[in-house]
Amino acid sequence: MPLISLNNLSKIYPLGNQQIVAVQELDLRIEAGEFAVLAGPSGSGKTTVLNIVGALDTPSTGRVRVDGCDYREMKPKALADFRLRRIGFIFQSYNLIPVLTAAENAEFTLMLQGVAPKARRAKISALFAELGIAGLEERRPNDLSGGQQQRVAIARAIAPEPAVILADEPTANLDSHTAEDLLQLMRRLNREKGTTFLFSSHDPLVIAHAERVISLRDGRLENDIRQEIG
Amino acid sequence: METLLLAWRNVWRNRRRTLITILAMSFSLMLIQAFHNLSFGVYAQMVDSGVRSGSGHIAVYRGDYALSRDDRLLWVMDEMGVMGVMGNLQTRITALDGVKAVLPRIYLPALAQSSRESRGILLTGIDPIAENGINPLLKQIDAPALIKSLDGRDALVGSRLLSELKLKVGNKFVVTAQGPEGQLVSELLRIRGLVKSGIREVDGSLVMVGRQRAALMTGQSEAIHELAVILENPDLEEKLLPLIGAMLPADSGLNAVSWELAMANLANAIKLDYASQKFIFLIIVLIVTIGVVNTLLMSVMERIREFGVILAVGASPARLRATVMTEALLLGAVSMLFGNLLGALATWYLVEIGIDLRDFIPETMEFGGVVFDPVMRAAWDINYMLQMSAYVLLLSVIASLYPAAKAARIAPAVAMRHH
């Protein structure tokens, strides 16, 4: 059974008297352990698909199954809990909570899960070391570079050991050198931990690192290519 | 704990706005507490002064004398059957814990005549020894000018009445009242001292004599209208009123009433003033509530994107709601603490130093028929202060309901597109 399964998925947004079709009749399957990117120009529907997979948005029609769960059968509270335990998010603007330190930000999802403070701190310390940001635990987001903030965001996403990490344009605010570093880091996590990554990006660098490139155009699947990564 | 920590840090995100809100709430609490305590102190002093010169904290009357002031409602302790093995009523009430004095009094409407003028007066018969040191009307009078005996002809006269009758201390004048059969009864009295209460009505109509001298005009030397019970502490009234009531024989027609009933003018004036204060306090509370709602709403609106992220990573709307409400609670708690500190400092100043109105108001001030001290002093009403503190907390939480609901209704996908 695929980790992510989208069947005949459509999403239509009402805009005044008009209807904007963001995604049309999309069928997609992503297996566990994949490192895939939803590629396409702005307005192609990649963020919409990512939001629907992440249970942040609901499809107008179609069916979504992630990690064996059918979203249609789940209530909002169950969806929130599913997001907490089975999905990790990495955002374009890092979206760390400014009043929390780097370590507290990374611990946030564990805290929501009710993990004890000592266990949380131990796990985050190990993750910070793994992600190359050891020693930055007590800094606030404003005192970190973009790359460092994104690493903290990655730590927050992977800390609960989710089934899939959804990354929306994760390199958009980073210089190419930092972006390259981060992509290699995520690739390593994918290989070593088997974490599934699904990106949405039009950054050629991200596309170059992905094993699978799912191209969307006007909300429809244009191409679905698997590529060899060196 | 984490929610509390996160909320605490969120509260201080915008220090200036938070400080302004806390200051507004604290100053409002201080104003409400300090002004209430000032009124509480002034009213306590007025009630104290009023009950000492008037009905006492508790008064024993016959029939509906408290309301009708019908001078025929006289009573004599022996005749009313209130003498018993425990002694007479006055003695038994005096023996109760918390009773400072029991003052028998008689009030007779009469006419005072000098050789040149005549005026309507209230002839008040008192027990001079018992009243001395208790009745504020006697406090300003030097000892030699006080009346001494129950049946002497010495009288204390209101200062205005004295000048209207064109008399001087030491002069004699005649008082005429209606006797028991409707006949006119006159007594010749000698002015021994002056009463300067500052209350126009009192100074213009008061003639005080020994209780028996006044009562003789009714034909019964032991007759009284009122047994005024002065308590050590006004709070004891609630406890002692039923006890005193129970001492009165059921068929005597006597009843014990509180000062609020006996001195309805003063009680109503205080109630009215408290009511108008409450209205002002309500406006203050409303302004503060709007301030808190504004602060929290701005804080929520500024964090819509962040709330979207928090929801996206798995927080439940209930948790978000709890965070916003905890922020409000903390805002309220800090304001409550600071407000209480300011309120306590202001009250302390008003208790110790007070507000001296003597430079602004040259004449004595009267309120509800009672003179009050031109140096207004507060008194601690701790219960009220605690109650207001709890209101501030409650108000903060109530004010957070809408912002918290708004935060919980945020759709994460939409919120994350918010800039």
The model's pLDDT over B157-213, given as tens digits with 9 standing for 90+, comes to 998 999 999 988 889 999 999 887 788 888 899 999 988 887 788 889 899 999 999
Percent of chain B with pLDDT over 70: 94
Position B84 confidence tier, pLDDT thresholds 50, 70, 90 = very low
Nearest to A56 among B12, B312, B319 (CB): B312
The better pLDDT of the pair B142, B228 is held by B228
Q: What is the pLDDT of residue A17?
A: 86
The reply to whether B306 touches chain A by the CB within 8 Å rule is: yes
Position B418 confidence tier, pLDDT thresholds 50, 70, 90 = low
Strands, DSSP E only, in B179-272?
A: 184-195, 206-210, 226-231, 254-258
User: Quick one: CA dihedral B23, B26, B32, B37, positive or negative?
Assistant: negative
Chain A's closest residue to B415, CA to CA, is A56
User: Which residue in the block uniquely carries the two structure tokens 């699947």?
Assistant: A221
The reply to whether B316 touches chain A by the CB within 8 Å rule is: yes
The reply to whether B416 touches chain A by the CB within 8 Å rule is: yes
pLDDT in tens, B14-32: 899 899 989 988 998 999 9
Q: Give the residue numbers in A contacting B (CB under 8 Å), as ranges.
A: 51, 54, 56-57, 76-77, 80-81, 83-85, 87, 89, 91, 95, 97-100, 108-109, 111-113, 156-157
Q: Is the CB of A99 less than 8 angstroms away from the CB of B412?
A: no
Contacts of A81 in chain B (CB under 8 A): 314, 316
Nearest to B315 among A56, A98, A112 (CB): A112
Q: What is the pLDDT of residue B367?
A: 65
Residue A186, classed as helix, strand or coil, is helix
Q: For the whole prediction, is pTM greater than 0.90?
A: no
DSSP letters of B40-101? HHHHHHHHHHHHHHTT-SEEEEETTHHHH--TT--B-TTTTT--BTTB-HHHHHHTSTTEEE
In angstroms, the separation between the Cα of residue B306 and the nearest Cα of chain A is 7
Chain A's closest residue to B314, CA to CA, is A84
The reply to whether B10 touches chain A by the CB within 8 Å rule is: yes
Distance CA B307, CA B313 (A): 10
Helix and strand counts by DSSP (H, E) for chain A: 7, 10
B120 Cβ contact list (under 8 Å, min separation 6) = B109, B110, B111, B112, B205
Q: What is the pLDDT of residue B298?
A: 86
Chain B's closest residue to A51, CA to CA, is B413
pLDDT higher than 80, residue B378: yes
Low-confidence ranges of chain A (pLDDT < 50): none
Q: What is the pLDDT of residue B366?
A: 65
**Nearest one of B15, B33, B19 to B378, comparing CA atoms:** B33
Q: What is the pLDDT of residue A31?
A: 94
Position B370 confidence tier, pLDDT thresholds 50, 70, 90 = low
Distance CA A213, CA B362 (A): 93
The reply to whether B174 touches chain A by the CB within 8 Å rule is: no
pLDDT higher than 70, residue B80: no
Crossing angle of the two packed helices B264-302 and B304-312, in degrees rounded to 10: 70
Q: Is the CB of A109 less than 8 angstroms away from the CB of B412?
A: no
Q: Is the CB of B312 less than 8 angstroms away from the CB of A89?
A: yes
pLDDT higher than 50, residue B344: yes
CA distances from A156 to A86, A97, A206 (A): 13, 11, 20
**Nearest one of B108, B308, B83 to B208, comparing CA atoms:** B108
Kindly state the tokens that stand for A27: 């069928």
Q: What is the pLDDT of residue A38?
A: 94
| Burial of B73 per CB tally in 10 Å (0-12, 13-18, 19+) | middle
**Nearest one of B163, B281, B149, B263 to B216, comparing CA atoms:** B149
In angstroms, the separation between the Cα of residue B341 and the nearest Cα of chain A is 29
Nearest to A89 among B10, B313, B316 (CB): B313
Q: Which string of b and e fits B365-381 if b means at least 16 CB within 10 Å?
A: bbbbbbbbbbebbbbbb
Q: What is the pLDDT of residue B87?
A: 53
> Which of B306, B313, B319, B409 is the mutation pick for testing A, counting most A CBs within 10 A?
B313
Distance of CA A101 to the CA centre of its chain: 22
Number of domains in chain A: 1
**Nearest one of B396, B405, B393, B415 to B320, comparing CA atoms:** B405
Kindly state the tokens that stand for A89: 């998010």
Position B85 confidence tier, pLDDT thresholds 50, 70, 90 = very low
Position B72 confidence tier, pLDDT thresholds 50, 70, 90 = confident
Q: Is the CB of A54 less than 8 angstroms away from the CB of B316?
A: no
Kindly state the tokens that stand for B270: 């205080």
Nearest 5°: the CA angle B208, B211, B216 is 110
pLDDT higher than 50, residue B10: yes
In angstroms, the separation between the Cα of residue A76 and the nearest Cα of chain B is 9
User: Which residue in the block uniquely carries the two structure tokens 């909570």?
Assistant: A97
Give first-to-last CA distance, chain B, whole Å. Answer: 30
Average pLDDT over residues B390-417: 85
Kindly state the tokens that stand for A4: 């992510």
CA distances from B345 to A64, A131, B338, B349 (A): 64, 55, 11, 6
Chain B's closest residue to A116, CA to CA, is B2
In angstroms, the separation between the Cα of residue B241 and the nearest Cα of chain A is 59
- Any idea what DSSP says for residue B364? P
Identity of the residue numbered B198: G
Distance CA B60, CA B224 (A): 10
Nearest to A97 among B12, B306, B319 (CB): B306
In angstroms, the separation between the Cα of residue B313 and the nearest Cα of chain A is 6
Average pLDDT over residues B129-154: 85
Neighbours of A67 (CB within 10 A): 18
Q: What is the pLDDT of residue B86?
A: 42
Contacts of A99 in chain B (CB under 8 A): 6, 9-10, 12-13
Kindly state the tokens that stand for A57: 């948005």
DSSP letters of A50-100? HHHHTTSS--SEEEEEETTEEGGG--HHHHHHHHHHHEEEE-TT----TTS
Average pLDDT over residues B364-372: 65
Output the average pLDDT for chain B.
86
Pick from A79-88, A154-163, B100-109, B358-367: least confident: B358-367
Chain B's closest residue to A99, CA to CA, is B9
Q: What is the pLDDT of residue A172?
A: 84
Average pLDDT over residues B376-398: 91
Contacts of A49 in chain B (CB under 8 A): none
| Burial of B209 per CB tally in 10 Å (0-12, 13-18, 19+) | buried
Cβ-Cβ pairs closer than 8 A, A with B, add up to 60
Q: Is the CB of A95 less than 8 angstroms away from the CB of B9?
A: no
Distance CA A220, CA B92 (A): 100
Q: Is the CB of A56 less than 8 angstroms away from the CB of B319?
A: no
Q: Is the CB of B319 less than 8 angstroms away from the CB of A91?
A: no
Give first-to-last CA distance, chain A, whole Å. Answer: 28
Identity of the residue numbered B129: I
Distance CA B340, CA B26 (A): 7
Contacts of B416 in chain A (CB under 8 A): 56, 91, 95
Contact (CB, 8 A) for B130 and B163: no
Q: What is the pLDDT of residue A186?
A: 87
CATH number, domain of A106, equals 3.40.50.300
